[in-house]
Amino acid sequence: MLQVIDLHEFLKDERVRCAVKVGSIIRYTMAEFLQNKGFIEIPPVIISPVTDPLAHPIFNGEISYYDNKYYLTRSMIFHKQMALLAFDKIFCFSPNIRLELAEKARTGRHLFEFTQLDLEVKGASREEVMQLAEEMFIEILKRVKECCKPELEKLGRELKIPSRPFKRISFEEAYNEYGKEYEEILSSEAKEPFWIIDFPKWKREFYDREFEDREGWLADMDLIYPEGFGEALSGGEREYKYERIVKRIQDSKMDPKEYFFYLEIAKRGLPPSAGFGIGIERLTRYICGLRDIKYTTPFPKIPGKYCI
């Protein structure tokens, strides 16, 4: 079976050349922004006995080594929390492997391998990391406009710097107004990025913190791109107390045994924190105004296809 992309043609495509250049500047600007704020960059974790369960269906990526079972990283959420045992503010350029269902190829925004800038701050509130995200987002847009003028011109993309603070809408409000397709509708109508906050438990993974005084609702958020580009970033405050984590795993109808290694560490203490992860290829796609995410990387991994 042949791999699906004609790589010679693909790598000649101006969209790829421009978008990969933009992605390179995005990565560098992120690192610079966070280093200047005193964040420590930690090495990525690619295989581990624990990884993000994710809130949508996916194939497991498993390997065995000396009879020990490892998962390919779907996100570094648990490792971020654990790294805060040593540092106050950390980030990572974290490659994620998510073996998506083939139908996700149609969304234009799924790859089965991508990089997430993942960060976590000890003792921070959701509000603080939202401020940080807005500031970083604007810094990136400014830098790309400055360093990638020819690329944006070739792509026919005009970028407007959004004003802060970004607008906010609660999940409840959004869902009541627009129903199931709330994200798509709101993203398509929007001219600037905006936040959706306070997701319900049934929509999210067990690690986002549930409000003590509002059962079933979470201290978390998504950043949504305008012009129909959809989700940018997911984050929130975290559950960090052992008993609460176990309860939340059980509420999600999962088996705490699957998180044994993580729970053993949580039992001895994890710090409270907040953080987020932002997909670099999706950010590149938005900044470049490309409808298909495949142009943002030289070796796109298209759901369901055989890709080099």
Residues of this chain that interact with its own copies (CB under 8 A) are: 1-3, 7-8, 11-12, 16-17, 20-21, 23-24, 27-28, 31-32, 35, 40-50, 59, 61-63, 65-66, 68, 72, 79, 82-83, 85-87, 93, 95, 97, 99, 102, 112-115, 261-262, 264-265, 268-269, 280-281, 297-299, 301, 304-308
Residue 126 vs 294, nearer CB to its own copies: 294
Tally of CB atoms within 10 A around 97: 19
- What is the closest distance, in whole angstroms, from the C-beta atom of residue 307 to its own copies in the complex? 8
Query: E strands, 133-272, where?
Result: 167-170, 194-197, 220-225, 230-237
Dist. CA 95–CA 23, nearest whole Å = 14
- What is the closest distance, in whole angstroms, from the C-beta atom of residue 202 to its own copies in the complex? 28
Which amino acid, 157?
R
State which H helix or E strand residue 274 sits in. Answer: strand 273-279
- What is the closest distance, in whole angstroms, from the C-beta atom of residue 291 to its own copies in the complex? 19
Residue 29 vs 187, nearer CB to its own copies: 29
- What is the closest distance, in whole angstroms, from the C-beta atom of residue 155 to its own copies in the complex? 15
- What is the closest distance, in whole angstroms, from the C-beta atom of residue 221 to its own copies in the complex? 25
Residue 89 vs 126, nearer CB to its own copies: 89
Strand order in the sheet with 62-65: 47-48, 68-72, 62-65
| DSSP helix, strand, coil percent of the chain (3-state; round to 5) | 40, 20, 35
Query: Based on C-alpha coordinates, what's the Rg of the chain?
Result: 19
CA 150 vs. chain centroid, Å, equals 28
Which amino acid, 190?
A
For residue 175, give the 3-state DSSP assignment: helix
Residue 124 vs 280, nearer CB to its own copies: 280
- What is the closest distance, in whole angstroms, from the C-beta atom of residue 78 to its own copies in the complex? 8
Phi first, then psi: give them for residue 108, nearest 5 degrees: 75, 0
- What is the closest distance, in whole angstroms, from the C-beta atom of residue 308 to its own copies in the complex? 5
- What is the closest distance, in whole angstroms, from the C-beta atom of residue 242 to its own copies in the complex? 13
Residue 109 vs 126, nearer CB to its own copies: 109
Using alpha carbons only, what angle is made at residue 210 by residues 243 and 184, rounded to the nearest 5 degrees? 140
Residue 106 vs 167, nearer CB to its own copies: 106
Strand order in the sheet with 113-122: 40-41, 89-97, 113-122, 273-279, 230-237, 220-225, 194-197, 167-170
Q: Which residues pair with 304 in a beta bridge?
A: none
Tokens at residue 111, please?
Answer: 């790859």
Q: Which residues pair with 113 in a beta bridge?
A: 97
Residue 85 vs 161, nearer CB to its own copies: 85
Residue 30 vs 224, nearer CB to its own copies: 30
